[in-house]
């Protein structure tokens, strides 16, 4: 069998299998064939899937957070004709630090998760995936301005802003449940 045809069949089988994952069920990105082709190998990776064991913001797991950041970044970069593949892949891997950041300080004594986790995520990503320079920069600089040096690419800025947007929405979603509807100053979706 031709190698290209074999890889195409394998990719389709993996994407079908991913449809059964609870963290992907009902997600818009599942219906975006081009997006899934860009990231199926990451989504199918066991180390990447470990991020579903850690909460990021509110009740959102790190995996769900990264998926949201990735897909929003992909759509924005595709619209503006930037490198949407690197944005999608870098967005998925930007928080591949593989620990619970809520207890990390107590467990390790490292009080600077916000500053150090991009390097940890990059080192992990390099262990399990082949990365291009844009993807590496996205992962390393996504916490700017906390990380003093800004992203080098437009894709890096898109992922950085998508990360902040998703983190804000995830946090507000958790908080809105604690505010009685009649006391809310603004309507929160």
| 3-state secondary structure string across 16-84 | HHHCCCCCCCCCHHHHCHHHHHHHHHHHCCHHHHHHHHCEEECCEEHHHHHHHHHHHHHHHHHHCCCCH
For residue 111, pLDDT over 60 is answered with: no
3-state secondary structure of 129: coil
- 24 or 92: which leads in pLDDT: 92
List b or e across 99-122, with b for residues whose CB sees 16 or more CB atoms inside 10 angstroms. bebeebeeeeeeeebeebbbebbb
Residue 140 pLDDT level (bands cut at 50, 70, 90):
very high
Task: Provide, rounded to the nearest whole percent, the portion of the chain with pLDDT above 90.
Answer: 41
Give per-residue pLDDT as tens, 81-102: 999 999 999 999 998 876 565 5
CA distance 42 to 62: 14
For residue 25, pLDDT over 60 is answered with: no
Average pLDDT over every residue of 111-131 = 81
For residue 188, pLDDT over 50 is answered with: no
Q: Tell me what pLDDT residue 77 has.
A: 95
Q: Tell me what pLDDT residue 155 has.
A: 97
- Does the predicted model carry a pTM greater than 0.85? no
Kindly state the tokens that stand for 168: 């804000």
Average pLDDT, the chain: 79
Give per-residue pLDDT as tens, 39-67: 989 998 999 999 888 777 677 788 988 99
Kindly state the tokens that stand for 105: 């300080």
The answer to whether the CB of 94 falls within 8 A of the CB of 117 is no
């Amino acid at each position: 069998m031709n190698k290209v045809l074999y890889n195409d069949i394998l990719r389709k089988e993996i994407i079908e299998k991913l449809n059964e994952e609870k963290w992907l069920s009902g997600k818009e990105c599942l219906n975006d064939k081009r997006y899934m082709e860009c990231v199926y190998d990451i989504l199918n990776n066991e180390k990447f899937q470990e991020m579903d064991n850690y909460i990021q913001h509110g009740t959102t797991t790190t995996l769900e957070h990264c998926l949201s950041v990735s897909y929003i970044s992909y759509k924005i970069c595709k619209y503006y004709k930037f490198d949407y593949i690197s944005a999608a892949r870098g967005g998925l891997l930007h928080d591949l630090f593989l620990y619970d950041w809520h207890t990390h300080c107590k467990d390790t004594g490292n009080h600077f998760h916000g500053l150090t986790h991009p390097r940890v995520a990059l080192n992990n990503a390099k262990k399990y995936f082949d990365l291009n320079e844009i993807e590496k920069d996205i992962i390393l600089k996504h916490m700017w301005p906390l990380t003093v040096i800004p992203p080098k690419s437009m894709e890096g800025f898109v992922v950085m802003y998508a990360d902040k947007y998703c983190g804000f929405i995830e946090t507000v979603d958790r908080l809105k449940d604690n505010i009685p509807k009649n006391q809310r100053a603004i309507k929160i979706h």
